[in-house]
Amino acid sequence: MSQGVEIRDIEQREESADAPDDSRDDALVLGEYRFTSRLFVGTGKYSSNEEMNECLEASGCEVVTVAIRRANLDDPEKSLVSHLDRDRYTLLPNTAGCYSAEEACRYARLGRELLETDLIKLEVLGDEKTLLPDPVATLEATATLVAEGFTVLTYTSDDPILARHLAEAGAASVMPAGSPIGSGQGILNPNNIRIILDTIDTPVIVDAGVGTASDVAIAMELGVEGVLLNSGIALARDPVRMARAMKNALLAGREAYQAGRIERKLYANASSPSEGMVDGTGSS
Amino acid sequence: MDSLERGPGQAGACGPLPGRMLQVTINGETHSFATGTTIEQMLEALRLPGEGVAVEVNRSIVPKRTHQEALLSDGDEVEVVTFVGGG
């Protein structure tokens, strides 16, 4: 029974899919911005800045996320200022660690002043254990920052109704977590991601929960516009190799989405001809 | 807890005025500066390059273009932020 439901879902998505035919010009457009890589990579948790830079390069990413924190007055080198090539990467400041709309908006304004960008990855967290977003405060902060002219990329849960509200509030991207931040559990509820994709026209980027390359491919095959990840690369045994794997998975998933997968069927369907078997057996 | 007191003779024509000191809190720590210290001079004293930080005084952002003129006042609560690794 679930098989039948699954097949209908896929047909519906194909009808509504608006994937571009030409993957050579497959830019990701977010508000006024246009990016060639659909993989956004975080800069946290690497064992060194050198390793971080090797991973960013291997991932092929164009957008990298950074956090806003107090400058270390005793050791200014703890900042990433001198370790990230700003001509190469678009820095996307986040509001990680903020637990109210007011606090998140304060960090967003600091990020804009610091990096001279109107891009903000908005995170308003609900609690420290789950790091799930506070939906009410997230919606409030999205509306406030959109009104202030920010290009708001909003981290959210995979709730389709909240996604709709965020899109209506003017988010440039709605970014559902595949699973809790840093959990590496992948896409726990692909159905909700599908419903979000079917509900809103705003670009959807899966943000958080990616554990390995197949998670990225699965997300992209669902039809999301991009994937944002950090721990999946930074904490892998070989981070640089995993960064490359993530890049390849993203391209594979994107192409598979654009190519259009075959229908899922309950029974087998032979690829080799049934005619012309020796001894004249088989159907003609 | 730097004490960045300057002697009266060190103050240039545009530099901090001699005499009275003011106390400000920067990222939660108390610092002393001469009256007339600008945000730019404060950042120089802290050895923080201006392009890598953003400054808030009493919860209002002080835009970079005004760092040269904006003066510290006694009791100011200053936040100096930068960007660090994050996802």
Residue A141 C-beta-side C-alpha neighbours within 13 Å: 31
- The pLDDT score that the predictor gives to residue A222 is 97
How much is the mean pLDDT over chain A?
A: 91
Mean pLDDT score, A12-23: 45
Distance CA B43, CA B30 (A): 15
For residue B87, being part of any structural domain is answered with no
Lowest mean pLDDT, pick from A94-103, A189-198, B2-11: B2-11
CATH number of the domain to which A243 belongs:
3.20.20.70
The residue range of the domain holding B49 is 8-81
- The pLDDT score that the predictor gives to residue A75 is 83
For residue A48, being part of any structural domain is answered with yes
For residue A8, being part of any structural domain is answered with no
Distance CA A27, CA A36 (A): 5
Q: Do B52 and A228 touch (CB under 8 A)?
A: no
pLDDT tens digit sequence for A137-195 = 999 999 999 999 999 999 999 999 999 999 999 999 999 999 999 999 999 999 999 99
Using the Cβ of A219 and the Cβ atoms of chain B, whether some distance falls under 8 Å is answered with no
Distance CA A150, CA A153 (A): 9
pLDDT tens digit sequence for B8-61 = 334 344 455 557 899 999 999 999 999 999 999 999 999 988 789 999 999 999
Partners of A120 in beta bridges: A152
Using the Cβ of B79 and the Cβ atoms of chain A, whether some distance falls under 8 Å is answered with yes
From the list A222, A232, A230, A228, the residue with the least C-alpha distance to A253 is A222
Total of domains in chain A = 1
Cβ atoms of A117 and A93 within 8 Å: the answer is yes
For residue B3, being part of any structural domain is answered with no
Active site amino acids of A: 121
Total of domains in chain B = 1
Question: CA Rg, chain A, in Å?
Answer: 21
The residue range of the domain holding A143 is 37-72+80-266
pLDDT tens digit sequence for A42-77 = 999 999 999 999 999 999 999 999 999 999 988 877
Using the Cβ of B26 and the Cβ atoms of chain A, whether some distance falls under 8 Å is answered with yes
Cα A97 from chain centroid? 19
| pTM beyond 0.90, yes or no | no
For residue A103, being part of any structural domain is answered with yes
CATH number of the domain to which B37 belongs:
3.10.20.30
Q: How confident is the model at residue A261 (pLDDT cuts 50, 70, 90)?
A: very high
Partners of A152 in beta bridges: A120
For residue A28, being part of any structural domain is answered with no
Q: How confident is the model at residue A80 (pLDDT cuts 50, 70, 90)?
A: confident
For residue A278, being part of any structural domain is answered with no
- The pLDDT score that the predictor gives to residue A259 is 97
- The pLDDT score that the predictor gives to residue A9 is 44
For residue A1, being part of any structural domain is answered with no
For residue A274, being part of any structural domain is answered with no
Distance CA B87, CA B25 (A): 29
Instruction: Write out chain B residues lying below 8 Å of A181, CB-based.
Output: 87
For residue A4, being part of any structural domain is answered with no
